[in-house]
Structure 1
Amino acid sequence: MDHDDDLRDGPHPGRPDGLLDRLRAGLPADALITDPDVTVSYGRDMASFCAAGTPAVVVLPRTVEQVRHVMRTATELRVPVVPQGARTGLSGAANASDGCIVLSLVKMDRILEISPVDRIAVVEPGVVNADLSRAVAGHGLTYPPDPSSWEQCTIGGNIGTASGGLCCVKYGVTAEYVLGLDVVLADGRLLTTGRRTAKGVAGYDLTRLFVGSEGSLGVVVKAVLALKPKPPERLVLAAEFPSAAAACAAICSIMERGHTPSLLELMDRTTIRAVNAMTRMGLPETTEALLLAGFDTPHAAADLAAVGELCTAAGATEVVPADTPAESELLLQARRTALPALETLKPATMIDDVCVPRSALGAMLDGTAAIAEKYGLTIGVCAHAGDGNAHPVVCFDHHDPDESRRARESFDAIMALGLELGGTITGEHGVGVLKKEWLARELGPVGLELQRGIKRTFDPLGILNPGKLF
């Protein structure tokens, strides 16, 4: 493939004069893509209803020095830069802006170190989550954060959006596993934050500041990640409930009794039917809610039995424990395919990401069902139930203006409901473009002012991922 549409750096709509020449001075030829038929494919992530611009150039660096060169060039010419990973995000955080440099980190994909003694991995940002998990498993270790897109998403993208996953209820989210970072700042300086030790409290925690910053403060080029010992193989049970309220009562009972499941996932009837239609798995379509509970403890079968009793007491009509890890994996595959399955119901979807206190999850699901009825839309819900993190998926026809309007209004209504219930507008997908207005509502004027001040400190010219978050 020819990466350059024009070897001369002449006038080009949206491209500052001299940009390509400056970039070429510190980059190999195959690191630059200017063909508009190719660059357009880097324009957006997987979010709906999010504006995206046309990049001037796409850069695929392989070294830290190449990233620094890009940022120095961008600062000199005042060109915006949009860092990207695999573009599996759901908030528009990786969407290009007009005339920007798209800085795709996918070629920086080396696992630099795995230390079983220190229980850390040192990786570049383009490492795919699942590849890291498989690599550390060979050392008897695990990297717990496992977003549903773990076979495609990158560690850099996970850090940018503070990703979660199915096992967060026991093991926590990405932020709890990032010990240190190397970050290229807007002006090209290289900043090292954090540590590789088990403990450390030297200075402000800049590492946590970058986690979830969506590429707006700097470009992550290396990460030191904490690892855990590989747990025993997981066993999972499936419990059917006649209502979302009954399922949520079981969830509250499980957590109140002190159980620590490695996952606790929920799918509503709409989601179950969508999964069946796509996979032919034969999940029970007559149930209103299906709860999946998993344990990776030495006594997983006993833990499942105890949780099964709590589910029955809460009103479960059937409780089916898996006998083997292979059967458990089949159940988890149903949950992992929930979002792709819902996407088959209509030409377009909007995937919400509202997190509420666990005790309010039942009200969140019932309220979402009422919103679906009010707006005459199909809204399926799957949830990381142990965290109270619900993913209502609004299914609609984007070719129908009225249905598109109702979809957007229902999406906003769901976020408003989450805040009313004491929750947050995003548990793991980030703000990006999609939820900018709602971030301001959640933070309030003082919080927003301080966050904008932090942005100015790290990026005084406002060239890093402009138009996102605020």
Structure 2
Amino acid sequence: MAPKCHAEIMDDHLELLEQLRAGLPDEALITDPDVTASYAHDMASFCEAGAPAVVVLPRTVEQVQHIMRTATDLRVPVVPQGARTGLSGGANASDGCIVLSLVKMDRILEISPVDRIAVVEPGVVNAVLSRAVAEHGLYYPPDPSSWEQCTIGGNIGTASGGLCCVKYGVTAEYVLGLDVVLADGRLMRTGRRTAKGVAGYDLTRLFVGSEGSLGIVVRAVLALKPSPPQQLVLAAEFPSAAAACEAVCEIMARGHVPSLLELMDRTTVQAVNKLGHMGLPESTEALLLAAFDTPDPAADLAAVGELCTAAGATQVVPAEDAAESEMLLQARRMSLPAMETIKSATMIDDVCVPRSKLGAMLDGTAAIAARYGLTIGVCAHAGDGNTHPVVCFDAADEDESRRARESFDEIMALGLELGGTITGEHGVGVLKKEWLARELGPVGLEMQRAVKQTFDPLGILNPGKLF
């Protein structure tokens, strides 16, 4: 088929806007190119982004249905978005697409202390939900580092995790049911409100982590837990990453259940100090943070402190109170923003390995950094084996950018060699498409594409992502 001429493209654009306006208020459409350009990409480096034809900001399920019916009728791609805090290019626009931003659908529809559930729209910010349920004595555990900005819809799309996953699990474990607008505009309900339920295939889990490629989540039923006691945090300094990882393995092998077990290497600690003036020990090669929210956290911290000392920790300092604990957690949450100050650009990897291989992953990453002459800092959800190597580089330096991309790929290859996965919580998006194919293998990839074909036969939902 011959490519369309400019006049035909303009006619198609006008028809698209006319059909969208038939079911949307004027304020729900953005067509100014300078404004739509700001919706073109998320926070990932090295990910191409196109120019959207229009940005739509619906407030109701019916409006989302109208958008999808219009997109199907005109065969226009749709890119769903939340707060665009993603790190894999999963929310990046394609040329001529409809960017469907769900940030205006931000209502908490229900909080039930009896059923221990919350029913929310996709644009609800993670931290807003957490604070709202806390008023009822409840707790929504998934807490990505961007929890003050990221939305529940985005968390569901990428199956995100957070600092507390070592004890409480990831987003997928808290999504009980979904309302999803399909590619053709039909509304489908999956899952349940009940504590138990095994009727039919688990389509809810299928949508969690699908990165907007199967449908548009417009409502979610989320499981909640009773609020735990206030946690206390311990900080342990180590002379090497290997020693810190040995401590992690001992903590888990001895049956301890920390609410948080996080690691920052020396590069990360120094960056956090520079950005936040946190006063962390810069001489340490690895700083391990362990927390407990048990009835007697001080006793648990003491036991873990002994294990850290036995593994070679040079200093073990338990927090004296909640305020000191929060300061340490804030330092950990600051890790990624702090690393972004080292150079003009960063590539944030997300490789998860078995806990027993965590030391090999960190040592291998350090060797890759040395081989490519780059600064690569690592922060990690150590209790999960989920590492976040952050490759720092000068985006204006062509050679350094090339080395950054090659080192990023080597880190992913190392993760697979160690029996891990290319992404523990950030998703595949554009950045890791090639690596998803390597991890899944040809048969697995074929089956995933078959699922995509079933839900999106025209291929209009977030095209070019995943595979």
- Could you say if the C-alpha distance between residues 92 and 14 of structure 1 is closer, same or farther in structure 2, counting changes exceeding 3 Å? farther
Q: Do residues 116 (structure 1) and 128 (structure 2) align?
A: no
In 2, Cα distance between equivalents of 1:218 and 1:451: 15
In 2, Cα distance between equivalents of 1:318 and 1:72: 61
Of 434, 438, 441 in structure 2, the residue corresponding to residue 441 of structure 1 is: 438
Name the aligned partner's letter for residue 406 of structure 2. Answer: E
Of 89, 93, 100 in structure 2, the residue corresponding to residue 92 of structure 1 is: 89
* Matched ranges for 1:360-375 at <5 A: 360-375=357-372
In 2, Cα distance between equivalents of 1:229 and 1:262: 14
In 2, Cα distance between equivalents of 1:30 and 1:282: 47
Q: 1:15·1:56 contact (CA, 8 Å) conserved in 2?
A: no
SS of the equivalent of 1:366 reads: helix
* Matched ranges for 1:193-272 at <5 A: 193-272=190-269
In 2, Cα distance between equivalents of 1:67 and 1:188: 8
Moved over 2 A (4+): 10-17
* Matched ranges for 1:123-134 at <5 A: 123-134=120-131
In 2, Cα distance between equivalents of 1:312 and 1:30: 60
Q: Shift in Å at residue 282 of structure 1? A: 1.1
In 1, Cα distance between equivalents of 2:156 and 2:279: 36
Name the aligned partner's letter for residue 201 of structure 1. Answer: V
Name the aligned partner's letter for residue 372 of structure 1. Answer: A
**Equivalent residue for 1:304?**
301
Q: Shift in Å at residue 281 of structure 1? A: 1.0
**Equivalent residue for 2:403?**
406
Percent identity between matched residues is 85
Q: Shift in Å at residue 87 of structure 1? A: 0.1
In 2, Cα distance between equivalents of 1:59 and 1:297: 46
Q: Shift in Å at residue 73 of structure 1? A: 0.2
In 2, Cα distance between equivalents of 1:312 and 1:261: 17
Give per-residue Cα distances to partners, 1:288-337, cap 9 Å, x unaligned: 00000000010100000000000000000000000101100000010000
SS of the equivalent of 1:117 reads: coil
* Matched ranges for 1:442-457 at <5 A: 442-457=439-454
SS of the equivalent of 1:16 reads: helix
In 2, Cα distance between equivalents of 1:152 and 1:35: 24
Name the aligned partner's letter for residue 326 of structure 2. Answer: E
In 1, Cα distance between equivalents of 2:10 and 2:167: 51
Of 23, 27, 42 in structure 2, the residue corresponding to residue 26 of structure 1 is: 23
Name the aligned partner's letter for residue 249 of structure 2. Answer: C
**Equivalent residue for 1:39?**
36
SS of the equivalent of 1:249 reads: helix
Name the aligned partner's letter for residue 147 of structure 2. Answer: W
Unaligned runs of 5+ residues in structure 2 are: 1-6
* Matched ranges for 1:386-405 at <5 A: 386-405=383-402
SS of the equivalent of 2:289 reads: strand
SS of the equivalent of 2:13 reads: coil
SS of the equivalent of 2:453 reads: helix
In 2, Cα distance between equivalents of 1:174 and 1:15: 39
Q: 1:14·1:98 contact (CA, 8 Å) conserved in 2?
A: no
Give per-residue Cα distances to partners, 1:50-82, cap 9 Å, x unaligned: 000000000000000000000000000000000
Aligned alpha-carbon RMSD (Å)? 0.9
Q: Shift in Å at residue 16 of structure 1? A: 3.5
Q: 1:11·1:17 contact (CA, 8 Å) conserved in 2?
A: no
Number of residue pairs matched?
Answer: 461
In 2, Cα distance between equivalents of 1:277 and 1:13: 51
**Equivalent residue for 1:7?**
none
Of 161, 166, 189 in structure 2, the residue corresponding to residue 164 of structure 1 is: 161
Q: Do residues 101 (structure 1) and 110 (structure 2) align?
A: no
* Matched ranges for 1:326-405 at <5 A: 326-405=323-402
Q: Shift in Å at residue 90 of structure 1? A: 0.2
In 2, Cα distance between equivalents of 1:284 and 1:116: 42
In 2, Cα distance between equivalents of 1:147 and 1:75: 34
TM-score by length of 1: 0.97
Q: 1:33·1:39 contact (CA, 8 Å) conserved in 2?
A: yes
Unaligned runs of 5+ residues in structure 1 are: 1-9
**Equivalent residue for 2:172?**
175
Name the aligned partner's letter for residue 39 of structure 1. Answer: T
Q: 1:45·1:90 contact (CA, 8 Å) conserved in 2?
A: yes
Name the aligned partner's letter for residue 382 of structure 2. Answer: A
